Amino acid sequence: MLLLLSGPPPPSEVEAGRVVYERCAACHSLEYDRTGPHHCGIFGRRAGSVVGFTYSEAMRNAGITWSRKTLDTFIANPMKAVPGTYMGYAGIEDPTERAQLVD
Question: What's the longest Cα–Cα distance across the chain?
Answer: 38
Residues forming beta bridges with residue 65, ordered by sequence position? 46
**60-91 pLDDT, tens per residue?**
999 999 999 999 999 999 999 999 999 989 99
The average confidence (pLDDT) of the chain is 90
Is residue 60 helix, strand or coil? Answer: helix
Question: pTM of the predicted model, to two decimals?
Answer: 0.82
Q: How confident is the model at residue 2 (pLDDT cuts 50, 70, 90)?
A: very low
